[in-house]
Amino acid sequence: MKKKQFSKFLFPSLFVAISFLLFFQLTAWHSMMLGIVLGGGYVIILTVWWRDILHHVFRFERGFVSVLLSAFAGLFFVSSIEASVVAFYTSTLFLTWTSLICSGVVTYLLRLFFLSRSCGSESIRKGRGQYIQMFPNIPWLSWIYISGWIVSVCLFFRAHGIDTLFSPWQSLSIWIAPLLFVLSVVLGFLIFSKQKTTQVLVLLLMHSFLLHLYLPLSHELPWGGDVWRHIAVESRLTQ
C-alpha cells in the first residue's frame, strides 16, 4: 500500500522539480548536459502518463510498443501546443517553458480523468467491428461543435492578407488557433461517445475542411503558403 502511494506521488513530484529546473535552464543556465538530462526526464514522465492513458482507454499492453506509442503521443501533444505559438512567430523561451508546463499538466489531468473511470472504456461489437466508447451520448455537444465550426468559418472569411507573409496565420484572427484546438477536443469526445457513425463521419469531414480552409482564405492572392514565405524572406534580406 505504501509503495503504491509512493509511486502515485513520485512522478508528479518529479515533474514539478523538472519544471522548476527547466525554467532556469531555458532562461539562465543554458547547459547542454543538464538540458539533455532534464529533457530526457520530462519525456520519460510524459511517456509514463500517456502509457497509463493508452492502457486504460485502448487496453494496450504495457510493452515496448506501447512505450514507443506513448512517447510519440506525449511529444506530439507538446509539439501541438508549441506549434500554436510558433505559428504567429512569437515564440520565446518563456512561452516554450509555458508550453511544456501546460502539456504536462493537461496530460496529468487526462490521466486522472481516465483512471477515475472504474469501468474504463466500453468495447461494443457491431457486426464484425469493435467500437470503443468512453463517453455517453451528449446531443448538445454536437451543436456546440457545429456552432464553433460556423464561427471559425466566419473568422476565416474575414481574413484578407495583402502583404508578403512568413506564415498564413499572420493574417488570421488570434482566436482561430484556440478555437480549432477546442473543436478538436470536442470532436475527440464525440468520436469516443455513443454517436451515430454517420454523424461522426460528417463531423470529421467538416473538421478536415476547416483545417484546410486557412490557406486559400488567408490571403488575397491565390498562392501557396511557401510562396509567401519565400517572398517574405527575400523582402527581409533586401532591407
Could you read off the pLDDT of 125-175 as tens digits, one per residue?
544 444 455 566 677 888 999 999 999 888 888 876 666 555 666 667 778
| 167 inside domain | yes
Same domain, 110 and 214: no
When pLDDT is averaged across residues 180-200 and rounded to a whole number, the result is 82
Distance from C-alpha of 25 to C-alpha of 29, rounded to nearest angstrom: 5
Q: 13 with 84, same domain?
A: yes
Confidence band (pLDDT; 50, 70, 90) for 83?
Answer: confident
Question: Which of 172, 151, 174, 176 is CA-nearest to residue 160?
Answer: 172
Q: Identify the pLDDT of residue 38.
A: 94
Q: Which domain holds residue 146?
A: 132-238
Q: Which backbone phi and psi does 200 adopt, to 5 degrees?
A: -65, -40
Residues 140 and 213 in one domain: yes
Q: Whole-number mean pLDDT of the chain?
A: 78
Position 119 scores a pLDDT of 46
- Same domain, residue pair 207 and 113: no
Q: Which of 77, 23, 92 is nearest to 45 (CA)?
A: 77
Poorest-pLDDT segment among 39-43, 96-100, 190-194: 190-194
- Reduced to 3 states (helix: H, G, I; strand: E, B; else coil), residue 72 is helix
**pLDDT score of 2:** 54
- Residue range 204-226: average pLDDT? 72
C-alpha cell at 160: 484578407
3-state secondary structure of 30: coil
- Would residue 15 count as lying in a domain? yes
User: 124 CB contacts (<8 Å, ≥6 apart)?
Assistant: 130, 131, 133
Do both 160 and 85 map to the same domain? Answer: no
Examine residue 126 and state whether it is found in any structural domain, yes or no.
no
> Comparing 2-6, 119-123, 206-210, which segment has the lowest mean pLDDT?
119-123
| Comparison of pLDDT for 3 and 208, the residue scoring more | 208
What's the pLDDT score for residue 210? Answer: 87
Residue 177 near residue 219 (C-beta atoms within 8 A): no
Whether residue 86 has pLDDT greater than 90: no
Enter the pTM of the model.
Answer: 0.66
pLDDT at 97: 92
